[in-house]
Amino acid sequence: MAMTMTQKILAAHAGLKEVEAGQLIEARLDLVLGNDITAPVAIKEFAKIGAEGVFDKSKVALVPDHFAPNKDIKAAEQCKVMREFALAKGIVNYFEVGEMGIEHALIPEKGLVLPGDLVIGADSHTCTYGAVGAFSTGVGSTDMAAGMAMGTAWFKVPEAIRFELSGELRGWASGKDLILHIIGLIGVDGALYQSMEFDGKGVAGLTMDERFTIANMAIEAGAKNGIFPVDARTREWAEAVAARCPSADRRYTEYAADPGARYSRTVPIELSALEPTVSFPHLPSNAKPVSKAAGVKMDQVVIGSCTNGRIEDLRVAARILRGRKVAKGMRCLVFPATQAIYLQALREGLVEALVEAGAAVSTPTCGPCLGGHMGILAKGEKALATTNRNFVGRMGHPESEVYLASPAVAAASAITGCITDPAEIMAAPSRADIAR
């Protein structure tokens, strides 16, 4: 039977020759992930089932990133639960403040996920790792507890939607604009419990950072996961990770969809037709071209998160902000996604450009994305963010508003004080230069 890419990974990890949509399977896990919100709950459930130790000390990852560095006493207590569990159980991949980062940028950076892996995480944006050709999905804390103890999890095999990408992105359009466009096209439930499988000649032109951004937001369309084929860019990424992380120097398996694999539908996307896109409150699917969003006044701009806090994102923001100033009365917050990204941004002079422009640059943290800390909105305020969700009260007061956009639109808007097409400020960049 012909299978999709996701189905082939699930079949292999379940020890089956084939699986079909709707089938219930138990599959072997390559990594189980938790953060400072979800892991403490999982740890309590882990104790309830009487588990002595985790199934594999190197295949559990704990990352304090949502409210860390600790914002208050409750956050400190949550992180303490994680820390004590990690030390007691000998968890290899526990990342303390100062070495941690936003989990969905840190995990691939450390080589803890590679093509063909099967990963669960007690965080909905665990789907990020589909960028490297892995099956990864978010689960509840109880499932995380069972996964840590047993090394397996139950899945219902999803159907798949094929997104056939053609052409190349132009101007200031980016991977963030592509996924906002897609969610606007199919809706927040358009891929409910399905796999979003990206294919076509247009995939080759997407950088790895863009693929992480796109896969990260698959959940915003209701998808079980998002996944990209393994190609030359993926292999180059895997080689680079293995070169700096000895633990990542391991064999991985490339899976590809079979000819004749069954999809619930195919959605063609011409990349050259896309322009920068903005999602209005209060759903990611409320997407509009920047030309129809220009002029909406903002109080705050946030550049960062597990969606857009990578080095290419900071390069784009710094390119636009360099030599310019954040508008008077505007707050511009920048969050590098990991310590390594922060260091690279320092070495490239990006942080200097951002600070001189009037931006506040933070240590890696989820912070304002979920209204956690460091950027909470007051009643009536509006923020333009490179994050992934703009639900009611997402970044603070329930009567505040969040608009989603790319780092380019965010940086341009920080300068003018209102939503702005970056093309109005400067000429289009070289994609190769941004991805250098």
pLDDT at residue 105 greater than cutoff 80: yes
3-state secondary structure of 300: strand
Range 363-401 burial, b when 16+ CB lie within 10 A, else e: bbbbbbbbbbbbbbbeeebbbbbbbbbbeeebbbeeebb
User: Which residues in 373-422 belong to E strands, given as ranges?
Assistant: 382-385, 401-404
Q: Considering the chain, what is the average pLDDT of its residues?
A: 94
Taking the C-alpha atoms of residue 366 and residue 376, their distance in angstroms, rounded to an integer, is: 12
Range 320-359 burial, b when 16+ CB lie within 10 A, else e: bbbebebbeebbbbbbbbbbbbbebbeeeebbebbeebbb
pLDDT at residue 431 greater than cutoff 80: no
Taking the C-alpha atoms of residue 150 and residue 152, their distance in angstroms, rounded to an integer, is: 5
Place of tokens 């009037």: 358
16: Cβ contacts below 8 Å, ≥ 6 apart: 25
pTM of the predicted model as reported, rounded to 2 decimal places: 0.94
pLDDT tens, 206-240? 999 999 999 999 999 999 999 999 999 999 999 99
- Residues 129/6, Cβ–Cβ less than 8 Å: no
Taking the C-alpha atoms of residue 308 and residue 175, their distance in angstroms, rounded to an integer, is: 10
Range 60-82 burial, b when 16+ CB lie within 10 A, else e: bbbbbbbbbbbbeeebeebbebb
Percent of the chain residues past pLDDT 70, beyond the cut: 98
- Residues 104/114, Cβ–Cβ less than 8 Å: no
- Residues 219/128, Cβ–Cβ less than 8 Å: no
pLDDT tens, 9-51? 999 999 999 999 999 999 999 999 999 999 999 999 999 999 8
Taking the C-alpha atoms of residue 141 and residue 45, their distance in angstroms, rounded to an integer, is: 8
77: Cβ contacts below 8 Å, ≥ 6 apart: none
- Residues 157/19, Cβ–Cβ less than 8 Å: yes
Nearest one of 118, 389, 344, 300 to 209, comparing CA atoms? 344
Place of tokens 């639109």: 409
Mean pLDDT lowest for which of 95-109, 229-243, 307-321, 417-431? 417-431
Assigned token pair, 319:
């390119």
DSSP 20-78: -TT-EEEEE-SEEEEETTTHHHHHHHHHHTT--S-S-TTSEEEE--SSTTT-SHHHHHH
Taking the C-alpha atoms of residue 290 and residue 403, their distance in angstroms, rounded to an integer, is: 11
Q: Which amino acid is at 86?
A: A
Q: How many residues does the chain have?
A: 436
pLDDT tens, 262-296? 999 999 999 999 999 999 999 999 999 999 988 99
Chain centroid to CA 10: how far? 22
Taken in order of first residue, the domains within the chain and their CATH numbers are 5-269 (3.30.499.10), 278-434 (3.30.499.10)
pLDDT at residue 425 greater than cutoff 90: no
Whether the upstream peptide bond of residue 397 has omega within 30° of 0, thus cis, is no
Nearest one of 367, 363, 358 to 386, comparing CA atoms? 367
Q: What is the mean pLDDT of residues 65-86?
A: 93
Taking the C-alpha atoms of residue 176 and residue 312, their distance in angstroms, rounded to an integer, is: 12
Give the CA count within 13 Å in the CB-facing half-sphere of 308: 33
pLDDT tens, 351-403? 999 999 999 999 999 988 888 888 999 999 999 999 999 988 898 999 999 99
Q: What is the pLDDT of residue 370?
A: 83
